[in-house]
């Protein structure tokens, strides 16, 4: 079974966790892409929030109702992919430059479901760890954060500068605290255990669901 088929299997499993009337946070990326038609196919009445313009466009194409996040104080469930799933569990997210929105949506959701193909599971969290910087003073922030390098390409959906932490990650909690303490950092891509309720991983067609 291919990685793409495993992404689809995890996404389709997660679509079954959504119930009629729920307010749903939609993540970003190639694992979330097959989630959208799977959710639409269920024919539920849902109110959705998107974490990126790309997801919003795909969601509307399949007929999901997407509303501005300002309309909600909280969400019932959010479903999103990950770049790494490590012990803890800790995640690394932000390969698609949307981790700031994704973290806000995850924190607002009663249930945050991570979906992935098996190769995203790692023994240790490692570099690169995405970091979004406020554009104002980004050069000064980069100078202070010596292990952070600019990532070529577009800005984040909210016009933040995207960079990556490079170097050894001895302990994700310590690195998260270091990045959180830097004034110019909007958000980093480390998601800690307090955010995560469910992990759905498909490996060679076998779906593993951990709560």
Could you give the residue numbers annotated as active site? 102
Are the C-beta atoms of 82 and 91 separated by less than 8 Å? yes
Q: Is 160 in the site for ligand 5RP (CB under 6 A)?
A: no
**Smallest distance, Å, CB 114 to ligand 5RP?**
9
Q: At closest approach, how far in Å is the CB of 32 from ligand 5RP?
A: 6
Stretch of 16-24, 76-84, 142-150, 198-206 lying at the interface with ligand 5RP (CB under 6 A): 76-84
Angle ∠(107,134,53) on CA atoms, nearest 5: 60
User: What does the alpha-carbon distance between residue 3 and residue 117 come to, in Å, rounded to a whole number?
Assistant: 6
Verify binding: residue 164, ligand 5RP, rule CB under 6 A.
Answer: no
Residue 141 interacts with ligand 5RP (CB under 6 A): yes or no: no
Query: 30 in the Ramachandran plot: left (φ > 0), alpha (ψ -120 to 50) or beta?
Result: alpha
- CA-based end-to-end distance of the chain: 25
- Backbone CA torsion sign across 29, 31, 32, 36: positive
126 is a contact residue toward ligand 5RP (CB under 6 A): no
C-beta separation of 147 from 165 below 8 A: yes
| Residue 103 near ligand 5RP by CB under 6 A | no
Region of 34-42, 81-89, 144-152, 197-205 interacting with ligand 5RP (CB under 6 A): 81-89
Report residue 52: phi and psi, to 5°. Answer: -160, 155
Q: Is 3 in the site for ligand 5RP (CB under 6 A)?
A: no
How far apart are CB 21 and ligand 5RP at their closest, in Å? 26
Q: Which of residues 34, 86, 96, 184 is near ligand 5RP by CB under 6 A?
A: 96
How far is the C-alpha of 167 from the C-alpha of 160, rounded, in Å? 22
Interface with ligand 5RP includes 86 (CB under 6 A)?
Answer: no
Residue 28 sits in the site that holds ligand 5RP (CB under 6 A): yes
Among 8, 10, 29, 188, binds ligand 5RP (CB under 6 A): 29
DSSP-based three-state secondary structure for 206: strand
Query: Are 61 and 7 contacting, i.e. CB atoms less than 8 angstroms apart?
Result: no
Q: Smaller CB distance to ligand 5RP: residue 12 or 102?
A: 102
Q: What is the Cα–Cα distance from 155 to 149, expressed in whole angstroms?
A: 14
| Site residues, ligand 5RP (CB under 6 A) | 27-31, 80-83, 93-99, 102
């Amino acid at each position: 079974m291919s990685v793409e088929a495993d992404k689809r299997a995890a996404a389709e499993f997660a679509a079954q966790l959504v119930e009629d009337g729920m307010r749903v946070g939609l993540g970003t990326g190639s694992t979330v892409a097959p989630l959208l038609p799977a959710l639409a196919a269920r024919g539920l009445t849902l109110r959705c929030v998107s974490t990126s313009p790309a997801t919003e466009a795909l969601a509307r194409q399949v007929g999901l109702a997407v509303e501005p996040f300002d309309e909600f104080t909280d969400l019932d469930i959010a479903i999103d992919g990950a770049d790494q799933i490590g012990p803890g569990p800790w995640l690394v997210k932000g390969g698609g430059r949307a981790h700031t929105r994704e973290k806000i949506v995850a924190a607002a959701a009663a249930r945050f479901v991570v979906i992935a193909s098996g190769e995203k599971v790692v023994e240790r969290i490692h570099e690169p760890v995405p970091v979004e910087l406020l554009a104002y003073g980004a050069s000064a922030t980069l100078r202070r954060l010596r292990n952070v390098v600019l990532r070529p390409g577009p800005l984040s959906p909210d016009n933040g500068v995207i960079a990556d932490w490079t170097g050894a990650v001895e302990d994700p909690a310590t690195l998260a605290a270091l990045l959180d303490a830097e004034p110019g950092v909007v958000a980093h891509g480390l998601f800690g255990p307090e955010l995560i309720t469910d992990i759905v991983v498909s490996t060679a067609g076998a779906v593993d669901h951990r709560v």
